[in-house]
A and B are shown apart, each in its own frame.
Chain A
């Protein structure tokens, strides 16, 4: 048998890496088609209103332009995700700033920009809401109505219950309340959204920067009223996504295709940075309220959690984001009794969408900040509080899922605190802080992240993977799973090479093209390594079975023999192809109505430690050092896995203390790189990445999901450390110097904040009244 050394677990070089370092890799804006013209979007300037007139100004040769409005849409005027409330182009009512109303195309990009400015839209304004609080106010204008009959302005609600929480308040030694909130965050892929579309009698084809070709494929079918075989979507090299190219390509893809249809020419639409930041999706702003019953020895007795997210003007993916946030809101702790009420509300902001973590970073921020408050109130250390409440094998999660994997959160916490020198630093900072203007602190967060779609989601996706041998006898993986930096190409080729016992270099992976690759599901939700990787492993086994059954391949073989056998098979049978379809594990059950059961086949577990310094003269907080310990199952490629964690931590640090979306009546006011601050190489601390590997039966060679996890922990770990440093509680991220200034420079704000109460002063049950 060849390939004795393990390919899985080795730092195989990035599959498309050479093209990237040479600058040869072709992204959407690098492509040029004959006769191609450019497309642009005329957007609303109002958050909400009725369009009364559209005027095309003077001085523009309008007869040279292709002009598309909602009237030109041959199918349904919708960008379909879960519901059909989101129009492709506004017909009458504008529901958010930057909403697309008119599309223009012209060969001259400079003239196109002038033309966009020359279109004037007149509105009859309607009242609008911009925050969760404004949306839920009793006298709020109704901006969105549910067909399902839920409350106005509410896209989706969940109620998740374990035990009987109403019984615990009377028995609690402490009832501890807190409110936590998070702002929007821009995905900030360095390549903006972009596509090229072509339309002919054969149908519509869109090339583009995207995560989920089949999402756009579906959107095109509806907008054009075409059967699936007449729609084709091809992903080209994609310069970062992070969720920001999960749902949005369906919008820009349909737009470019409409212009292509009307103009009869290929149309390229590539947003510039300001348009991309202003008009496309961001992470949902959130608010989490906790009310927790705790015993005097620091045991969580029960809790109520209210989790709310701002979905923006249309439903898009908000119910799914809300779902993940809801399930992760309870963290890796044992809750005998728990009730979570969650809702996604409508506001007149551009729709918020997918972003790495998908609701979990928001609710985990609230929980992990709250855990530190509980520890302080009870009078034990944050470490001790976690140790007394960690989930253990044999325990059940908040959804009632039995923990079968041999997780050891206590052991992980011990290791992370040792690696970071936590105890020594805590002692040292306690000594040095009183006399230093620079206050230093160290804090941590413990958390988990489910891999794959939630609950019955993977069953519904019903993913399919194929492997086909090409004319050189090399297997080619056919999946719609996309590469946008995370390493999809590389890890899937590693899995196939290892399973087929051939060299990594001999495996190929096809460009995702809906005419060629089966639907292996969207590239989201930390599902590619575990779910799709497992299917690639299965398909590889099926390929071998097929070759062996033909008698062309022995039990043991060299890579050369594999190649010869594969070519011989092709000669005899015309093609050599194997597939694998997702089959739900038979011990995984989920009840969508009760929101109960096995939420995910597997979880990744983590302890993240942040060391910070807060300068009390400049009010600037800095992360000085960072440790990320996680258990993610088998690490398929150590270099790529480290890169995933480091990149996620960097985004998490940005989320915590740098990246603020400034909103003005639903408009992002700082939609430029100049004034939306993303961490540079000079801003980030050393990030120490540590893995523990407990193989999972659900993934290939024991791998679980890794992509989203590192986004969850940094913000609460950093704000916990900042509280350690300053002694002041901050419950909102991002936390910018001006926010620190507000509290530190204004002691009255601190004393007025009931969350500063010490248990010795407040007495045991200090907060709220027991019902």
Chain B
């Protein structure tokens, strides 16, 4: 067991867990944040994507000891019932979520992409989201959602 302290969705948390526990399991089982999903357990699908110190990572590949002192953002840290994050609102309106299982990871990947490229080209979107698999949408509605979010951000400046 190790005692790990880190910042999770803007709050400091301290947990006792075996150091090699996957961050995914720490979030889901120890901290009961089930918005982060497991799709493959081998870092291929991106369903378990979270932001670790602002970088997009597959939480199934991150051992818990690596988050000591770090900042982690999960889907639960992005928006809430009364106030969706603009990315979430655009995914909802543009049909970017179908079955919804890849959606939390896809939304965090979008967040990461828009931090890097606030007005991304279609190729930057295609590339930026290519680590997050979606079987339902064929990605077209997701691209629309990303472009719409960027447009809203530009208009809001």
Q: Check: A114 CB closer than 8 A to any chain B CB.
A: no
CB-CB contacts below 8 Å: A91-126 with B: none
Chain B interface size range = 35 or more
Q: What 0/1 readout, one digit per residue, does chain A (650-680) give for beta carbons within 8 Å of chain B?
A: 1100000000000000000000111000101
CB distance from B18 to the nearest CB of A (A): 10
List chain B residues, Cβ under 8 A from A29.
Answer: 34, 37-38
List chain A residues, Cβ under 8 A from B101.
Answer: 27, 189-191, 239-240
Contact of B95 among A643, A651, A674 (CB under 8 A): A643
Smallest CB-CB separation from A626: which chain B residue?
B138
- A-B contacts, 25 of them at CB < 8 A, read A11-B93, A18-B92, A20-B100, A22-B79, A22-B81, A22-B84, A23-B35, A190-B37, A192-B39, A242-B135, A273-B39, A273-B42, A485-B99, A640-B95, A646-B141, A647-B98, A647-B137, A651-B135, A672-B42, A673-B45, A678-B133, A681-B126, A681-B143, A684-B140, A687-B138
Total interface residues in chain A, CB < 8 Å: 57
Does B97 lie within 8 Å of A642, measured CB to CB? no
Does A189 lie within 8 Å of B135, measured CB to CB? yes
Smallest CB-CB separation from B33: which chain A residue?
A23
Main secondary structure of the interface of A (DSSP, over half): loop
Q: Give the complex CA separation of A29 and B28 in angstroms.
A: 10
Q: Check: B15 CB closer than 8 A to any chain A CB.
A: no
Are A27 and B37 also in contact (CB < 8 A) when A190-B45, A190-B102, A678-B133 are? yes
List chain A residues, Cβ under 8 A from B37.
Answer: 27, 29, 190-191, 239
CB-CB contacts below 8 Å: A336-369 with B: none
Q: Check: A17 CB closer than 8 A to any chain B CB.
A: yes
Most chain-B CB neighbours within 10 Å: which of A187, A192, A487? A192
Are A22 and B80 also in contact (CB < 8 A) when A273-B41, A639-B141 are? yes
Q: What 0/1 readout, one digit per residue, does chain A (211-251) give for beta carbons within 8 Å of chain B?
A: 00000000000000000000000000111111000000000
Are A678 and B140 also in contact (CB < 8 A) when A22-B81, A24-B35 are? no
CB distance from A212 to the nearest CB of B (A): 16
Does A21 lie within 8 Å of B135, measured CB to CB? no
Does B100 lie within 8 Å of A485, measured CB to CB? yes
CB-CB contacts below 8 Å: B12-59 with A: 28, 34-42, 44-45, 47
Does A190 lie within 8 Å of B133, measured CB to CB? yes
Does A643 lie within 8 Å of B136, measured CB to CB? yes
Q: Which 9 A-B pairs have the closest CB atoms?
A: A23-B35, A239-B101, A485-B99, A20-B100, A650-B138, A23-B75, A646-B138, A485-B98, A673-B44
List chain B residues, Cβ under 8 A from A20.
Answer: 97, 100, 103
B-to-A contact residues, CB < 8 Å: 28, 34-42, 44-45, 47, 74-76, 79-81, 84, 88-89, 91-104, 107, 125-127, 129-143
CB distance from A606 to the nearest CB of B (A): 16
Q: Give the complex CA separation of A21 and B89 in angstroms.
A: 8
Smallest CB-CB separation from B98: which chain A residue?
A485
Q: Give the complex CA separation of A681 and B142 in angstroms.
A: 9
Most chain-A CB neighbours within 10 Å: which of B97, B100, B131, B140? B100
CB distance from A107 to the nearest CB of B (A): 13
Contact of A646 among B76, B127, B140 (CB under 8 A): B140
Q: Give the complex CA separation of A647 and B126 in angstroms.
A: 16
Does B95 lie within 8 Å of A188, measured CB to CB? no
CB distance from B39 to the nearest CB of A (A): 5
Are A17 and B35 also in contact (CB < 8 A) when A23-B74, A673-B133, A687-B138 are? no
CB distance from A318 to the nearest CB of B (A): 24
Smallest CB-CB separation from A485: which chain B residue?
B99
Q: Check: A564 CB closer than 8 A to any chain B CB.
A: no
Q: Give the complex CA separation of A255 and B139 in angstroms.
A: 35
Q: Give the complex CA separation of A485 and B143 in angstroms.
A: 18
Q: Check: A30 CB closer than 8 A to any chain B CB.
A: yes
CB distance from B87 to the nearest CB of A (A): 8
Q: Give the complex CA separation of A25 and B34 in angstroms.
A: 9
Does B100 lie within 8 Å of A25, measured CB to CB? yes
Does A240 lie within 8 Å of B79, measured CB to CB? no
List chain B residues, Cβ under 8 A from A678.
Answer: 133, 135
A-to-B contact residues, CB < 8 Å: 11, 13-14, 16-27, 29-30, 187-192, 237-242, 272-273, 484-487, 639-640, 642-643, 646-651, 672-674, 678, 680-684, 686-687, 689
Does A190 lie within 8 Å of B138, measured CB to CB? no
Does B129 lie within 8 Å of A681, measured CB to CB? yes
Does B84 lie within 8 Å of A18, measured CB to CB? yes
List chain B residues, Cβ under 8 A from A647.
Answer: 98, 135-138
List chain B residues, Cβ under 8 A from A686.
Answer: 140
Does A681 lie within 8 Å of B98, measured CB to CB? no
Contact of A21 among B40, B97, B141 (CB under 8 A): B97
CB distance from B58 to the nearest CB of A (A): 11
List chain B residues, Cβ under 8 A from A486.
Answer: 98
Are A642 and B140 also in contact (CB < 8 A) when A14-B92, A22-B80, A486-B98 are? yes
CB distance from A473 to the nearest CB of B (A): 23
Apart from A20-B97, A650-B135: 18 A-B pairs, beta carbons within 8 A: A11-B93, A16-B100, A21-B96, A23-B103, A29-B38, A30-B28, A188-B135, A189-B101, A190-B45, A190-B99, A240-B135, A643-B140, A646-B137, A647-B135, A673-B44, A674-B42, A681-B142, A687-B140
Does B133 lie within 8 Å of A680, measured CB to CB? yes
CB distance from B60 to the nearest CB of A (A): 11
CB distance from A249 to the nearest CB of B (A): 15
Smallest CB-CB separation from A680: which chain B residue?
B130
CB distance from B93 to the nearest CB of A (A): 7
Are A238 and B99 also in contact (CB < 8 A) when A18-B81, A22-B35, A684-B139 are? yes
List chain A residues, Cβ under 8 A from B44.
Answer: 672-674
CB distance from A77 to the nearest CB of B (A): 32
Does B127 lie within 8 Å of A649, measured CB to CB? no
CB distance from A647 to the nearest CB of B (A): 5
List chain B residues, Cβ under 8 A from A639.
Answer: 94-95, 141
List chain B residues, Cβ under 8 A from A16.
Answer: 100
List chain B residues, Cβ under 8 A from A30.
Answer: 28, 34
Does A484 lie within 8 Å of B99, measured CB to CB? yes
List chain B residues, Cβ under 8 A from A649.
Answer: 138
Q: Give the complex CA separation of A674 and B44 in angstroms.
A: 6
Does A237 lie within 8 Å of B100, measured CB to CB? yes
Does A13 lie within 8 Å of B92, measured CB to CB? yes
List chain A residues, Cβ under 8 A from B91.
Answer: 17, 21
Smallest CB-CB separation from A242: which chain B residue?
B135
List chain A residues, Cβ under 8 A from B125.
Answer: 681
CB distance from B29 to the nearest CB of A (A): 9
CB distance from A602 to the nearest CB of B (A): 24
List chain B residues, Cβ under 8 A from A23.
Answer: 34-36, 74-76, 103-104
List chain A residues, Cβ under 8 A from B102.
Answer: 190, 239
Q: Give the complex CA separation of A642 and B134 in angstroms.
A: 15
List chain A residues, Cβ under 8 A from B100.
Answer: 16-17, 19-21, 25, 237, 239, 485
Does A643 lie within 8 Å of B137, measured CB to CB? yes
Does A189 lie within 8 Å of B45, measured CB to CB? no
Contact of A682 among B96, B126, B136, B141 (CB under 8 A): B126
List chain B residues, Cβ under 8 A from A13.
Answer: 92-93
Does B130 lie within 8 Å of A681, measured CB to CB? yes
List chain A residues, Cβ under 8 A from B88.
Answer: 21-22
Smallest CB-CB separation from A683: which chain B residue?
B130
Does B134 lie within 8 Å of A190, measured CB to CB? yes
List chain A residues, Cβ under 8 A from B107.
Answer: 21
List chain A residues, Cβ under 8 A from B134.
Answer: 190, 681
Q: Give the complex CA separation of A672 and B136 in angstroms.
A: 19
Q: Give the complex CA separation of A638 and B79 in angstroms.
A: 27
Q: Give the complex CA separation of A678 and B102 in angstroms.
A: 14
List chain A residues, Cβ under 8 A from B80.
Answer: 22
List chain B residues, Cβ under 8 A from A242.
Answer: 135
Does A673 lie within 8 Å of B40, measured CB to CB? yes
Does B127 lie within 8 Å of A17, measured CB to CB? no
Most chain-A CB neighbours within 10 Å: which of B81, B127, B137? B137
Q: Give the complex CA separation of A20 and B34 in angstroms.
A: 12
Q: Give the complex CA separation of A689 and B96 in angstroms.
A: 16
Most chain-B CB neighbours within 10 Å: which of A21, A22, A192? A21
